[in-house]
């Protein structure tokens, strides 16, 4: 193990991978915990908000990892992972000129092609759907929904105080067709199940990164419960992370 003395300088490449991943796991678990006792509309809204936020932060964790290895491989000459410019093909060189504006999955494709890694076809299809969902959420996707309403009977009701129950809804988006592999629910109905699916996809890809580059992943959660886990080889247990059940009081 290398030793350092006072005054030594050590340069590290830093990303937001750990921050986003830990927050995504916290939010997913909070969504699940709140759902167990949610009765009011506010509580049910919190379940949905936590789930959607978990999906966003989970994808951000993946993007952070992609950018980390992209930086190490293509921009940081002192990195052991650095790929010299003379060994890069034309397409990569052209893509790197606009790396910061590049799409996450295209970056992933270049990184894996130069590291002899690959995603199973099923996982790749799921990742594409997750990427589409992330874009819908992050960019404020707009759609229409039609409500079937039922007036509530009450002697106190008049035209100003009449209340209604929602019998059924129909969106102008075919969600099943949009997400045939992941089975994500409509945005208005998302809950912790959807965030579990999203996190599972993210963690599967992160595990491939970890195995390909011999790179442990740090998972730091601040509640549900607060913990630190080094995801590495046998300890990289995706189901244990995603299915963890914490009865928050």
Q: 45 and 15 in contact (C-beta within 8 Å)?
A: no
Q: 151 and 134 in contact (C-beta within 8 Å)?
A: no
User: How high is the pLDDT of residue 164?
Assistant: 73
More confident residue, 209 or 7: 209
Average pLDDT on 158-166 reads 72
Average pLDDT, the chain: 92
**Boundaries of every domain in the chain:** 17-141+184-242
- Is the pLDDT assigned to residue 227 strictly greater than 50? yes
* CA-to-CA dists, residue 1 to 13, 211, 218, angstroms: 19, 22, 20
Residue range 67-82, pLDDT digits in tens? 999 999 999 999 999 9
- Is the pLDDT assigned to residue 3 strictly greater than 70? no
Average pLDDT on 128-153 reads 92
User: How high is the pLDDT of residue 1?
Assistant: 46
More confident residue, 172 or 11: 172
User: How high is the pLDDT of residue 249?
Assistant: 44
- Is the pLDDT assigned to residue 58 strictly greater than 50? yes
Please tell me the number of Cα atoms within 13 Å of 43 on its side-chain side. 9
CA distance 198 to 184: 9
Which candidate, 205, 245, 234, places its Cα nearest to that of 21? Answer: 205
- Is the pLDDT assigned to residue 159 strictly greater than 90? no
CA distance 95 to 243: 38
User: How high is the pLDDT of residue 84?
Assistant: 96
Predicted TM-score (pTM) of this structure: 0.90
Find the range with the poorest average confidence among 44-53, 87-96, 167-176, 177-186: 167-176
* CA-to-CA dists, residue 98 to 70, 144, 180, angstroms: 12, 35, 32
- Burial tier of 152 (Cβ tally within 10 Å: 0-12, 13-18, 19+): exposed
- The torsion defined by the Cα of 175, 35, 192 and 29, in degrees rounded to 10, comes to 170
Judged by DSSP in three states, 221 sits in strand
- Is the pLDDT assigned to residue 8 strictly greater than 80? no
- Is the pLDDT assigned to residue 247 strictly greater than 80? no
Q: 138 and 193 in contact (C-beta within 8 Å)?
A: no
Q: 210 and 217 in contact (C-beta within 8 Å)?
A: yes
């Amino acid at each position: 193990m290398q030793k350092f003395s006072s005054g030594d300088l050590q340069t590290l490449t830093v990303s937001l991978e750990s921050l986003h991943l830990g927050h995504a796991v916290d939010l997913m678990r909070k969504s699940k915990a709140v759902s167990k006792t949610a009765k009011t509309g506010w509580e049910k809204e919190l379940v949905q908000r936590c789930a959607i936020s978990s999906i966003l932060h989970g994808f951000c964790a993946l993007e952070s990892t992609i950018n980390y290895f992209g930086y190490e491989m293509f921009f940081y000459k002192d990195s052991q992972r650095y790929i010299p410019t003379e060994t890069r093909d034309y397409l990569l060189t052209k893509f790197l000129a606009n790396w910061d504006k590049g799409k996450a999955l295209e970056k992933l494709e270049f990184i894996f092609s130069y590291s002899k890694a690959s995603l199973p076809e099923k996982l790749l299809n799921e990742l594409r759907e997750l990427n589409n969902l992330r874009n819908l959420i992050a960019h404020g996707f707009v759609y229409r929904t039609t409500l079937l309403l039922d007036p509530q009977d009450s002697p106190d009701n008049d035209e100003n105080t009449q209340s209604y129950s929602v019998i059924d809804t129909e969106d102008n988006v075919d969600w099943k067709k949009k997400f045939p592999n992941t089975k994500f629910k409509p945005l208005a109905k998302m809950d912790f199940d959807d965030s579990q699916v999203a996190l599972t996809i993210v963690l599967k890809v992160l595990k491939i990164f970890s195995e390909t580059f011999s790179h442990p992943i740090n998972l730091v959660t601040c509640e549900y419960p607060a913990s630190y886990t080094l995801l590495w080889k046998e300890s990289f247990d995706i189901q244990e992370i995603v299915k963890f059940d914490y009865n928050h009081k």
